[in-house]
Structure formats: C-alpha cells, structure tokens
Structure 1
C-alpha cells in the first residue's frame, strides 16, 4: 500500500509511513507484484471540523485496501493507496483532486465527506474521466454516470425519522441544519416528509459549520413550542447544540431526531445524559446483531485498537464502496472507467457490514438496509429494521440507463 498525506504545512500523521510521506512527498513502497499497481486515490478530512467523521473513514479505507491486497489484489495487481488529508478545506479538496488525477493518474477516487466537498471535486473527475465513489450518507439527488454514491439517502433514512416522530411525539416540528448544500436539501426533504405526514414546520434555522453557540436558536425553539426538533447539524462544532440543549433543560421536554448524530464518536465522548434518546436512522450501527457487522468491527479493532468502538455508516459505506468497486473491476476484467461502470450497472451486489448492498443501475446509488435507533447508555438501541430500501428520492428523477449524459443534482420540490 502507498500512502501520501498531503498538507499545506504538514500531513496528518497516522503511523511511520504516513509521517515519512509528510516529509518527502508520496511514500512509495515497491509493489509485491510484478505488474504495475492499480491506483486508488482517497480524499478525506483527517483534521478540521470534519475530522470527527473523517478519521475512521481514513482507517476504513486502509483496512479495505489491505484486505484486498492480502487476498491477492485485483487482476493480479496490488492496489496502491494514495491518500490526502483534506483538512475540512474545500481548496485542498480541489488541489489534491487535481494532483491525484493529473499527476498520480489514479484509476479511481474514493472520498469526500460533505456535499460541498463532493460538488467541488466531482467536475474534476468528470473532465478527467476518473471514476468517483462518494461513500457518505447524504442528501440524495446526484445523477452523474461517472459517480457512485454508496451512503444512504433521505428516502431510505430521513423519512423513517420523520414518520416515527410524527406518530410518537407530535405534528409540530422545528428544524435546525447546517448552512450548506447538505443542510438545506435535507431540511427540504424533512419539510416534504413532515407535510406528507400531516405535520407542520414551525421554523427552520441554518448554521455555518464554525458556529458553536446555539443559545439564541434554543430560545427561538422554546418560544415556538414544537413537539419535535429535527436536526441536520454537521461536524464537531455543531455538537455544541446537543450539549446546550441538555444544559438548558430541554432534553426532557422536547425530543430530538437527527440525520447525522452518531456518525462520529459522539457516544464515546459525550455524556449518556446528553445523548440518550436522540432518534437516528442509518444504514449501519456498530452493534448490529449480524456476523458481518461483528466481523467488520473486530477486524478494525484488530488493526487499530480496542478503542475503535465508534464505527458508523460513514465507515461501513466507505468499506462497501471500495468492495463494490472491486467487484466491478473483477467483472470488467479491467480498471478502465467505461468498462467498470458497465459492470457496476449490471446490478453488482455485495454482502457487507450493513447487510446486502446492491448498486441501483438507474441512479448509481445503493439499495440497502436501514435501521432506526437511539443511544441508550452509550450503546445503540435498534428500534426497527427496514430491509432493501430503494433510493426513491433520487430514483424519482434520475435514470442513467435511459439518459446516461445526465449530470446534475436533483432537489425536492415543495
């Protein structure tokens, strides 16, 4: 495996190899195979506000590549991982994306966390004809033949949060969300699902990722008196909302459902009194009672330590994205972009940590299980399971088999 942690000043240090890469540029080891390696590029936030989610995704990428190489690689060739810490910085995303495709000439890109980072680099990969996997739970709607989105979409998860909230807690909703593409579009989906369920949205507030003080919005929520707060807040700074919500004595009065909470290490670093009862819905939880989920967690702990207890959908989707790509390469017998896309569009599926995951040919999203859960004493209490959820939000507008030249992101109409 080859790793290059890029940075304006210094790279994120994740071991001796990464540290050496920071000093002398891409750290290259000779391939264990005679053939030239297949190059997999990774762009993820190991530091900055999104480092909370990105650090485990980085480790999962290394874990998946190591597994493939230990099994003989692909097509008789080793996979060379070239990975940059984008430091939650969009400028670095575009800089490193161009380095990966034009200098390192990678065969595939796996990466991006926020929708803002995805939309900054997606055009670069389209122009360079470099296959791109976006392995993050997201707001849905991306319709681009060159892109495969393996994380869950609102129709697969957010709809279940809203449905549960309306049935169990009440019809009056207040929304708080991150002030960028993901937050705005997810808030629109929340509004659409709330209205479809006979509820009403009393107010919606958006916050930049660097905001840490939520006292004013908590006061507005108190004045509005909703039955439920729905959150699409993102990143380490926005965790302040949940702490301040509990400190204001609101946790016992108005329940909260979140589309993002728990994707990082919230359950291990925050008090149970703050986290217990927050409603979530994802494609994976670290205590799913399945052999595949247990094997994934144990494998990550064996490589990175027993303290790896915070794995979530971002990590399982990263692993599954790499494995779906690998199956596409095997079926295509090539790493060429068009051949791998055609193989993936044949309906390739894997059994991953989250369960059965299948590429939907029309949308390039995945058909996958979803699970509704809340934290309970620092562990996930799985409330419901929803098998084989279709990405119907994206599928309602996107059909890349009929219209392969489509290149846009569809958003909900309210």
Structure 2
C-alpha cells in the first residue's frame, strides 16, 4: 500500500495528526467484563496519518453503531487501539501486546504492506483473526487473514483499458520503486497489452524522489498517449504539480492507481488534478441508501465528510464483515470466524456489496471508474462485483488450508 509524507491534507487546514500514544486507547460505552475486544493497530500520527486517522475514525464509527444496536451476540465491543506513530518497528511490538497482554479477539490494522507482513505471522501464531482492510498488490494466502481492499486485477483491469480507450494505446508507466509499485507496474503492462496497447517505458522512483524534471523530459521525448501512475506518497505528489507546471497536463493525460486513496486530490489544485482517471471501490457520490446512511452517521459523529477516503471506507466495511462473521459463526474464536468467512459471507457497505471469497479470504467488490473534477471524484462507469482473480490464480485455502505464503503472482 501507499504512503504520504505530509501533515495536513484537507481544505480548511484540518490537521490529521494526533498525539503519540504511550498507552492503548480504549473506547466505547461503559465496558462490561465480558466485552469482545477489538484490537486496532494504525498509523494515526506521523507521516502516514493521512491514511491512519480516517481509518481509525471509521473503525470507531462502526463499533459505535454495532454497540448501539445491541452489540454482537449480546456482548458490547471494546476497542483497544495502538498508534504506531508511522514507525514500522512498533507494529511488531503492539501486535505482541494485543496477543499476549490485551488478549483481544481480533485485530484490524496495518496500512503499508510492510506493516501487514510485520504483524501477520504474530497474529497467525496466536490464532487471532486478522483483517487487513487496505488495497494492496495481491497474493497473500493465509487462512488467518481476511483482506477487504481491492487488488490489481480488480482495479488495474478497469483503469488501464479505460485509459487506452479514452486516450490511445501508447502508455508510459511511472511507479514507486518498492513491492507495490513494481508489481502494479507489471499489471499495468499486462492490461495495456491485453487492451491492444503497449508500454513505451516503465520508470521506477525511490520514495524520497521529489524532483521529476528529468522524468518529464523523458516523457516528452517518448510522446505517449497517456501516463499510468503508481507513484506513492508526499514526495511523489510533486510529480503531478510539476507535470501541470510544465504545461504538459493538457497534452498527455494521466491515470493513477493511488492518487486520492488518502485524499491527495484535495491537496492538488483543480488545475493540477482535473481529468486524472482513477478506479476505486468507494465512490463518494454514489447515492445508495448505505452510502447516504454512512455519510450521515459520519457527519453526526465528526462534523463533516471531508476526511472520508477509500481505505477509511474499506476499514469500516472490514469491521462490518468481521461483525457479521461473529454473528454467523456464533463466536469470536478463529474457527468460528473462519467457518463463517468460508461460507461466502456478504455485507452491503458504503462501497456496495462486499462478498468474501472462501478460497482466498479476499473480497469481491464493486469498482467505480472516476475522474477528478474540482477536487471531487466524478463517477464515469460502474463495474459490479469484481472478484480477486489475481489472488485466486495462486491461492486455494479450501484445498490447502495450511498455506502461509505471499505469492508473487505470475503475470503473462
């Protein structure tokens, strides 16, 4: 998953940082001795807080709603949350704390793929159900984990053909130089070829790169029809500004798998962001009863909806999936949760229907093709119930329940 190096991202100067926590934060109603403990590990301060803070808010909203409706199987939910302060080392420490001392019943958490992998084995060993509610590069095959974010075959397969159809077959790929960017770039190349296009160049950039002058010169020389971006984070956000400032934005358009996931489009001016194509599970403008109810509840609790983003909604939906698994499974233990998950469990959330694939524990999701318009996401086309076919190609937990691998998916 992506990263952002900034402190404030929204209109009106709303700051996303919170104080570092020296102890777990415990929230909810007055707690009984037999509460269900939900563990959360997120970056709610530090350089990744633009992702983590809204995810934390979404989690607390979901818990409040479940508790107000009577809880789960007659029990209230107690939240035990840790702020990693955007320090990967603290993920391991807090995962051990949740399993050994706090003895929570489930953990929802992790943003970057590195943070997921830092805690996944700890939680698996403790047989503590783990929900990773973030878009990522795909391939994790582990019966102890449930993934509710989009994978490349759900997102990139929508975005790339749409960009080629709209603008032309010659694509130039820019990506972050680490696991997510490298794998996503390969998916971009595949789906460009499948759509009758070709990648004229694929360039990778370390996360600390903020000067794209030479890259812009290369792109101008290559003269592609469209740029496909899997750039990541605050430094890479500079590319979109520099591209617009160069006068090239209206000549060679852009599509991205990451821009807007953490509300980055609200940092860019309309002139810098307008017309950029994206595809995500959550579309703020979708007028479904579930989305309208979610936005109203968010406004009632937090004042407005400006902080909501893709992975905040994914976290909210992940909590609801877990809650339904507790109801259907009749308990919070690993086997009860897994039994419910592998029954093809579904919920309907703000992003639409979420159905868990029994073989991979990944979600089948709606995906919306959108473009930025005046710092908002305008829906162009809807793609209903897209399965995680990339991970399905390598993972079958029903046939191999003891599998514990993140596969590097072969891309033809």
| Common topology (TM > 0.5) | yes
Matching residue of 2:321: 324
Residue by residue over 1:249-282, the C-alpha shift from the partner in whole angstroms, topping out at 9 and shown as x without a partner, is 1111111110111112223332111111110000
Cα 1:33–1:76 shift into 2, 3 Å: farther
Kindly report which structure 2 residues correspond to 1:81-120, keeping only aligned pairs within 5 A, or say none: 81-120=79-118
Cα distance in structure 1, aligned partners of 2:97 and 2:168:
51
Match of residue 362, structure 1, among 330, 343, 359: 359
Deviation of 1:385 after TM superposition, in Å, equals 0.4
Match of residue 237, structure 1, among 211, 235, 249: 235
Matching residue of 2:285: 287
1:395 matches 2:370? no
Native 8 Å contact 1:116 1:180 kept in 2: no
Residue by residue over 1:222-270, the C-alpha shift from the partner in whole angstroms, topping out at 9 and shown as x without a partner, is 2222211111122233211111111111111111110111112223332
Cα distance in structure 1, aligned partners of 2:312 and 2:360:
22
1:343 matches 2:378? no
Cα distance in structure 1, aligned partners of 2:107 and 2:26:
18
DSSP-derived class of the 1:252 partner: coil
Aligned length: 397
Deviation of 1:413 after TM superposition, in Å, equals 2.7
Matching residue of 1:148: 146
Cα distance in structure 1, aligned partners of 2:166 and 2:21:
52
Cα distance in structure 2, aligned partners of 1:45 and 1:247:
32
Q: Give me the TM-score of the superposition, normalised by structure 1.
A: 0.91
1:334 matches 2:331? yes
Cα distance in structure 1, aligned partners of 2:269 and 2:28:
46
Cα distance in structure 2, aligned partners of 1:319 and 1:85:
18
Deviation of 1:14 after TM superposition, in Å, equals 8.8
Native 8 Å contact 1:172 1:201 kept in 2: yes
Cα distance in structure 2, aligned partners of 1:29 and 1:51:
19
Cα 1:29–1:320 shift into 2, 3 Å: closer
Indicate the larger mover: 388-397 or 212-221: 212-221
Matching residue of 2:11: none
Native 8 Å contact 2:28 2:78 kept in 1: no
Matching residue of 1:385: 382
Deviation of 1:216 after TM superposition, in Å, equals 2.4
DSSP-derived class of the 1:356 partner: strand
| Displaced runs of 4 or more, over 6 A | none
Match of residue 208, structure 1, among 202, 206, 209: 206
Cα 1:401–1:173 shift into 2, 3 Å: same
Long gaps (5+) in structure 1: 1-12
Residue by residue over 1:89-112, the C-alpha shift from the partner in whole angstroms, topping out at 9 and shown as x without a partner, is 211222222221122121111111
Cα distance in structure 2, aligned partners of 1:54 and 1:138:
15
Cα distance in structure 1, aligned partners of 2:209 and 2:48:
13
Matching residue of 1:22: 21
Matching residue of 2:3: none
Matching residue of 1:278: 276
Cα distance in structure 1, aligned partners of 2:375 and 2:16:
27
Deviation of 1:169 after TM superposition, in Å, equals 1.2
**Alignment RMSD (CA, Å):** 2.0
Match of residue 261, structure 1, among 255, 259, 262: 259
Long gaps (5+) in structure 2: 1-14
Native 8 Å contact 2:32 2:76 kept in 1: no
Native 8 Å contact 1:188 1:412 kept in 2: no
Q: Give me the TM-score of the superposition, normalised by structure 2.
A: 0.91
1:409 matches 2:400? no
Deviation of 1:22 after TM superposition, in Å, equals 3.5
DSSP-derived class of the 2:21 partner: helix
Native 8 Å contact 1:38 1:107 kept in 2: yes
Residue by residue over 1:299-324, the C-alpha shift from the partner in whole angstroms, topping out at 9 and shown as x without a partner, is 11221122x32423211111110000
Matching residue of 1:6: none
Cα 1:209–1:38 shift into 2, 3 Å: farther
Cα 1:208–1:58 shift into 2, 3 Å: farther
Matching residue of 1:226: 224
